[in-house]
């Protein structure tokens, strides 16, 4: 699918009422990434209304060329923003992580001057899978201090 096909597909989607379901398997068994179906009721009658359809997206699809669609499907299952391929999704995940960090700090009653509070918060952030760079930035701890905390946690 080239970029012109993608653009015309987007134009069509804007004009239509479309339900999109993203699944993790190839339901049709043909290796295609996307299938479009017309909506029908139980008796097989097409649903009333102009241009209504149902799209099933096979998120297990990967191609050799690393197309936009393949990269999107990859990123849907990626939890590490540094390994994401679509910039807008990477930025969204990074923003969500930062917001989570801020919530953790607020829940902990974070106070600027308390080094022990910073260490305890860092432990909890490490347990929740936060990136060490984010912990360092949010808590203003050195990389060495975060490594020491993580090392202590592995010993326990």
39-51 pLDDT per residue, tens: 777 888 876 665 6
Confidence label for 1 from pLDDT (cuts 50, 70 and 90): very low
Q: Is the pLDDT of residue 3 over 60?
A: no
Domain boundaries, given as residue ranges, for the chain: 3-77, 91-155
User: What number of other Cβ atoms are within 10 A of residue 58's Cβ?
Assistant: 20
- In the predicted model, what is the mean pLDDT of residues 48-70? 76
Tell me which of 36-45, 47-56, 89-98 is least confident: 47-56
Token readout for 93 is: 């995940």
Place of tokens 């989607």: 13
Residue 148: predicted pLDDT: 92
- In the predicted model, what is the mean pLDDT of residues 73-94? 83
Query: Are 80 and 89 in contact, with CB atoms under 8 Å apart?
Result: no
pTM for the predicted model, two decimal places: 0.42
Beta bridge partners of 37: 54
Long-range CB contacts for residues 47-55, cutoff 8 Å, separation at least 24: 49/17, 50/16, 50/17, 51/15, 51/16, 51/17, 52/16, 52/17, 52/18, 53/16, 53/17, 53/18, 53/19, 54/18, 54/19, 54/21, 55/18, 55/19, 55/20, 55/21
- In the predicted model, what is the mean pLDDT of residues 80-87? 85
Helix (H) or strand (E) segment spanning residue 96: helix 87-107
Residue 31: predicted pLDDT: 85
Nearest to 107 by CA among 123, 121, 93, 97: 121
- In the predicted model, what is the mean pLDDT of residues 136-146? 88
Nearest to 121 by CA among 133, 99, 139, 134: 139
């Amino acid at each position: 699918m080239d970029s012109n096909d993608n653009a015309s597909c987007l134009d069509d989607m804007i004009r239509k009422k479309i339900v999109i379901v993203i699944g993790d398997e190839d339901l049709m068994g043909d290796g295609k990434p996307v299938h479009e179906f017309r909506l029908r009721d139980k008796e097989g009658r097409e649903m009333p209304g102009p241009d209504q359809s149902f799209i099933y997206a096979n998120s297990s699809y990967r191609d050799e060329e690393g197309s936009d669609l393949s990269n999107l499907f990859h990123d849907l299952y990626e939890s590490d923003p540094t390994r994401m391929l679509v910039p807008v999704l990477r930025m969204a995940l990074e923003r969500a992580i930062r917001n989570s960090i801020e919530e953790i700090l607020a829940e902990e009653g974070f106070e600027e001057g308390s080094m022990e509070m910073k260490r305890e918060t860092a432990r909890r952030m490490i347990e929740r899978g936060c990136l060490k760079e984010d912990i360092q930035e949010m808590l203003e701890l050195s990389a060495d201090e975060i490594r020491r905390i993580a090392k202590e946690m592995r010993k326990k």
